[in-house]
């Protein structure tokens, strides 16, 4: 029995070394993400659709491969090595850790990152301009200036913005630093509450009641997972909840304003197509996702004591209930 | 599997061979189910990354990572030995504390090392490609740790430590300070795990505060696969088993990533891992059961024939 296990483990490992080569396709694009999660999945779908529209159809003239690291950095590193060995035409790396491990694995194969907030701080590119090398991509750096404008438009009297975030998420930490910089000249203070785990979200929000005029939630994965808990506190405390993720207007936010990840994927796909058609990634400047969406929930706004003008509602991309 | 993918799996396998050696010390030598490793692995990465970015020499940064991990292990041991907190809980407490500490150490959740000199860049040259240098350096470090442990566990202190795990009461009765040895074992174990974290960050482009998730499962899987492949009671074989187990485990993951042909997909990876580890865990038990049944059947047959 023991020998059986040993033999089967060994033969499985051997099978890997003898895996059949992939079918000869015209073009190969390999996609990797650190985890499967709605925003990242939407970005991936955007890439696929954009490729299809440009005439690269998976299974026909394109071999599209997707690997998820399921939250494990070691697996992400191994996926990066696998891709480096497969030598696809382009590697699409969704999220910061995926892009970093991809760049550690290859300096030759073009890498297009997607949904990376700050590619310069992550050392994927030296600057936002075209800087040579094998990397370019689309950032989901939220346009905090526009978010702040929405907050001030919806609540002109707000002086204190409460932010709930996970201190372990690079995206959120960067967003708060930027928000503080923008808010200070306008005389607005940013009050932080850290929620390192999903179960901490409600108590973090409660700690801000009475200290803030409005809640702002950056696209924090942890807080988004427990969004209903945050919405409940906002309802009880009558503090309007504004999020950087448009989709949470259906989950209790009064206003969701931010990046549409499907469109971000589309934008990423455009870069992939340009590279497939012969452009060098080092000659393409990194971009920020351009399309912003604003979803408004009338009932949530009412529960949280937020009066919205007709004009404001008209400016929304989508109004739910 | 391509050569680059193979070398990459070997590389990550060797990093986790160190994790397996660390886990082997806590789980097998002193019988302490230590969950600290999920925190000490990223701690090693964080300390090394922060120091490298701060301009320290890679060797010093790596040694400091080991020391930081040892300190974390000592803390867990102290919580258990002095404050009498349950083993599992002591490990969990230190693990979650380390999450905050790692954020403090790096000052942010992610510290890239993509253009910083690392311990590997000292060995790379124009003539040898990086995909060969890194696994070779890792192999050298892993073997050094393995032989050092083999030597240590054959020494008087090492034997006393093994006695501590085997039968604490007996060990105490012959004058072994089991508490102190548990502390040393945990420090050594987590030091090695943090060393692995430091090497992982340096070979994979940077340290991330989330990189510790699942370390204990991978380490344990490697130890158990190693024991199954290389059964034997000697320490030298057991430590070799840790290395072989970790590399083989990574090769299995590589199969998982290349397994379109068996119908497995990316999302099946964690399930496949759990099943493999479960099989490996159950094996020794079912083997004993089968052996007992066989001997019982043999005895019955003998009885029949003697009638």
Decide if A19 is inside a domain: no
What are the start-end ranges of the E strands in chain B? 110-112, 206-208
pLDDT band of residue B126 (cuts 50, 70, 90) is low
Decide if A17 is inside a domain: no
Which chain A residue is nearest to residue B211, measuring alpha carbons?
A: A73
State yes or no: pLDDT of A265 exceeds 50: yes
Contact A77 B270 (CB under 8 A): no
Rounded distance, CA B292 to CA B298, Å? 10
pLDDT band of residue B183 (cuts 50, 70, 90) is very high
pLDDT for A7 equals 67
Rounded distance, CA B80 to CA B71, Å? 14
Mutate to test the interface with A, among B1, B17, B43, B284 (most CBs of A within 10 A): B1
Count the neighbouring beta carbons within 10 Å of the beta carbon of residue B104.
11
Residue A179 sits in the same domain as residue A239: yes
Contact B252 A6 (CB under 8 A): no
pLDDT for A245 equals 87
Decide if A93 is inside a domain: yes
State yes or no: pLDDT of B24 exceeds 90: yes
Rounded distance, CA B193 to CA B15, Å? 9
Contact A73 B253 (CB under 8 A): no
Residue A154 sits in the same domain as residue A168: yes
pLDDT for B302 equals 62
Q: Chain A: nearest CA to B259, how far in angstroms?
A: 8
- Residues from chain B that touch A100, judged by Cβ atoms under 8 A, are 110, 112, 114, 204-206, 208
Residue A117 sits in the same domain as residue A232: no
Contact A13 B252 (CB under 8 A): yes
Residue A196 sits in the same domain as residue A250: yes
pLDDT for B188 equals 97
Contact A123 B206 (CB under 8 A): yes
Rounded distance, CA B43 to CA B52, Å? 14
Among residues of chain A, what percentage have pLDDT more than 70?
92
Q: Which of residues 108-127 of B touch A (CB under 8 A)?
A: 108-110, 112-115
Q: Record the pTM.
A: 0.82
Contact A168 B99 (CB under 8 A): yes
Q: pLDDT per residue over B63-77, tens digit each?
A: 999 999 999 999 999
Rounded distance, CA A27 to CA A124, Å? 24
DSSP letter at A278 equals: T
The token pair that represents B282 in the structure block: 């159950």
Residue A63 sits in the same domain as residue A171: no
Contact A78 B8 (CB under 8 A): yes
Q: pLDDT per residue over A16-71, tens digit each?
A: 554 444 444 589 999 999 988 888 899 999 999 999 999 999 988 999 999 988 88
Rounded distance, CA B281 to CA B279, Å? 5
Decide if A192 is inside a domain: yes
- Residues from chain B that touch A86, judged by Cβ atoms under 8 A, are 2, 5
State yes or no: pLDDT of B157 exceeds 50: yes
- Residues from chain A that touch B12, judged by Cβ atoms under 8 A, are 74, 77-78, 81
State yes or no: pLDDT of A202 exceeds 80: yes
Q: Which residues contact B65 (CB under 8 A, 6 or more apart)?
A: B43, B44, B45, B47, B48, B194, B195, B197, B198
State yes or no: pLDDT of B260 exceeds 70: no
State yes or no: pLDDT of A190 exceeds 90: yes
pLDDT for B297 equals 72
Decide if A3 is inside a domain: no
- CATH code of A275's domain: 3.40.50.2300
Which chain B residue is nearest to residue A125, measuring alpha carbons?
A: B114
pLDDT for A222 equals 85
Element (H, E) at B117: none
User: For residues A222 and B192, which has the higher predicted lDDT (pLDDT)?
Assistant: B192
Q: Which residue has the tokens 């060098």?
A: A280
Mutate to test the interface with A, among B203, B204, B286 (most CBs of A within 10 A): B204
- The arithmetic mean of pLDDT across residues B40-49, rounded, is 97
pLDDT for A25 equals 52
Among residues of chain B, what percentage have pLDDT more than 90?
59
pLDDT for A21 equals 45
Among residues of chain A, what percentage have pLDDT more than 90?
64
Flag whether residue B202 sits within 8 Å of chain A, measured between CB atoms: no
pLDDT for A196 equals 87
- Per-residue 3-state assignment (H helix, E strand, C coil) for B36-90: CHHHHHHHHHHHHHHHHHCCCCHHHHHHHHHHHHHHHHHHHHHHHHCCCCCHHHH
Size of interface A-B (CB pairs under 8 A): 170
Q: Which residues contact B140 (CB under 8 A, 6 or more apart)?
A: none
Supply the range of the domain harboring residue A271. 27-141+260-291
Contact A100 B286 (CB under 8 A): no
Residue A272 sits in the same domain as residue A148: no
Residue A113 sits in the same domain as residue A172: no
User: For residues B275 and A109, which has the higher predicted lDDT (pLDDT)?
Assistant: A109
Residue A168 sits in the same domain as residue A205: yes
pLDDT for B140 equals 96
pLDDT for B305 equals 57
Give the burial class of A282: count Cβ atoms within 10 A of its Cβ; 0-12 exposed, 13-18 middle, 19 or more buried: middle
Q: Chain B: nearest CA to A103, how far in angstroms?
A: 7
ipTM: 0.79
Residue A68 sits in the same domain as residue A192: no
pLDDT for A22 equals 46
> Contact, A90 vs A276, CB < 8 A?
yes
Flag whether residue B248 sits within 8 Å of chain A, measured between CB atoms: yes
pLDDT for B299 equals 67
pLDDT for A225 equals 85
Q: Chain A: nearest CA to B52, how far in angstroms?
A: 14
- The arithmetic mean of pLDDT across residues B142-156, rounded, is 96
Contact B1 A73 (CB under 8 A): no
Q: pLDDT per residue over A144-184, tens digit each?
A: 888 999 999 999 888 999 999 999 888 788 889 989 999 99
Flag whether residue B285 sits within 8 Å of chain A, measured between CB atoms: no
pLDDT band of residue A292 (cuts 50, 70, 90) is confident
Residue A283 sits in the same domain as residue A307: no
Flag whether residue B225 sits within 8 Å of chain A, measured between CB atoms: yes
Q: pLDDT per residue over A223-255, tens digit each?
A: 988 899 999 999 999 999 999 988 888 899 999
pLDDT for A23 equals 46
- The arithmetic mean of pLDDT across residues B178-199, rounded, is 96
Decide if A303 is inside a domain: yes
Residue A35 sits in the same domain as residue A148: no
Decide if A166 is inside a domain: yes
User: For residues A289 and A285, which has the higher predicted lDDT (pLDDT)?
Assistant: A285
Number of domains in chain A: 2
Decide if A208 is inside a domain: yes
- The arithmetic mean of pLDDT across residues A285-314, rounded, is 91
Residue A105 sits in the same domain as residue A243: no
Q: Is the dihedral of CA A185, A213, A233, A314 positive or negative?
A: negative
């Amino acid at each position: 029995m023991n020998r059986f296990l040993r033999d089967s483990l060994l033969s499985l490992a051997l099978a890997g070394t003898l895996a059949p080569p992939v079918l000869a396709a015209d073009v190969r694009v390999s996609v990797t993400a650190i985890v499967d999660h709605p925003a990242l999945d939407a970005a991936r779908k955007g890439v696929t659709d954009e490729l299809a529209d440009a005439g690269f159809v998976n299974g026909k003239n394109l071999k599209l491969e997707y690997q998820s690291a399921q939250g494990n950095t070691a697996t992400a590193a191994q996926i990066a090595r696998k891709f480096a060995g497969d030598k696809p035409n382009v590697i699409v790396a969704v999220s910061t850790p995926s892009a970093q491990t991809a760049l550690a694995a290859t300096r030759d194969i073009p890498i297009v990152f997607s949904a990376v907030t700050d590619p310069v701080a992550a050392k994927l590119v030296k600057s936002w301009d075209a800087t040579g090398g094998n990397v370019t991509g689309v950032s989901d750096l939220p346009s905090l200036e526009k978010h702040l404008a929405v907050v001030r438009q919806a609540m002109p009297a707000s002086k204190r913005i409460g932010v709930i975030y996970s201190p372990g998420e690079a995206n959120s930490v960067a967003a708060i630093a930027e928000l503080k910089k923008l808010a200070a000249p306008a005389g607005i203070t940013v009050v932080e509450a850290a929620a390192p785990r999903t179960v901490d979200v409600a108590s973090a929000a409660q700690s801000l009641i009475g200290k803030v005029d409005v809640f702002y939630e950056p696209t924090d994965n942890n807080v988004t997972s427990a969004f209903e808990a945050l919405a409940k506190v906002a309802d009880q405390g009558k503090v309007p909840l504004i999020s950087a993720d448009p989709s949470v207007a259906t989950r209790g936010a009064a206003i969701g304003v931010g990046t549409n990840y499907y469109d971000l994927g589309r934008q990423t796909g455009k870069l992939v197509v340009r590279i497939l058609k012969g452009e060098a990634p080092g000659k393409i400047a990194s971009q920020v996702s351009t399309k912003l969406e604003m979803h408004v929930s009338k009932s949530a706004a009412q529960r949280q004591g937020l009066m919205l003008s007709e004009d404001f509602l008209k400016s929304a991309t989508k109004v739910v209930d | 599997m391509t050569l680059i993918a193979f070398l990459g799996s070997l590389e990550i396998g060797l990093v986790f061979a160190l994790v397996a050696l660390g886990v082997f010390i806590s789980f097998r030598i002193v019988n302490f189910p230590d969950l600290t490793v999920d925190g000490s692995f990223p701690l090693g990465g964080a300390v090394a990354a922060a120091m490298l970015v701060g301009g320290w020499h890679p060797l010093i940064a790596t040694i400091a990572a080991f020391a930081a991990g040892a300190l974390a292990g000592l803390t867990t041991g102290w919580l258990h030995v002095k404050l009498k907190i349950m083993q599992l809980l002591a490990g969990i407490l230190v693990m979650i504390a380390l999450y905050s500490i790692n954020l403090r150490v790096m000052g942010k959740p992610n510290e890239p090392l993509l253009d910083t000199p690392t311990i590997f860049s000292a060995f790379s040259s124009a003539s040898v490609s990086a995909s060969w240098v890194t696994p070779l350096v890792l192999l050298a470090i892993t073997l050094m740790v393995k032989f050092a442990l083999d030597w240590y566990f054959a020494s008087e202190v090492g034997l006393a430590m093994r006695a501590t795990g085997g039968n604490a009461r007996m060990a105490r009765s012959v004058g072994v300070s089991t508490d102190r040895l548990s502390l040393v074992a945990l420090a050594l174990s987590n030091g090695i795990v943090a060393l692995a974290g430091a090497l992982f960050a340096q070979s994979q482009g940077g340290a991330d505060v989330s990189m510790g998730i699942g370390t204990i499962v991978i380490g344990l899987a490697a130890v158990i696969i190693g024991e199954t492949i290389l059964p034997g009671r000697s320490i030298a074989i057991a430590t070799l088993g840790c290395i072989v187990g970790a590399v083989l485990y990574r090769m299995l993951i590589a199969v998982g990533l290349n397994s379109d042909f068996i119908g497995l997909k990316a999302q099946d990876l964690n399930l496949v891992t759990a099943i493999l580890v479960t099989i490996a865990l159950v094996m020794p038990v079912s083997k004993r059961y089968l052996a007992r049944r066989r001997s019982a059947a043999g005895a019955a047959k003998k009885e029949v024939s003697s009638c």
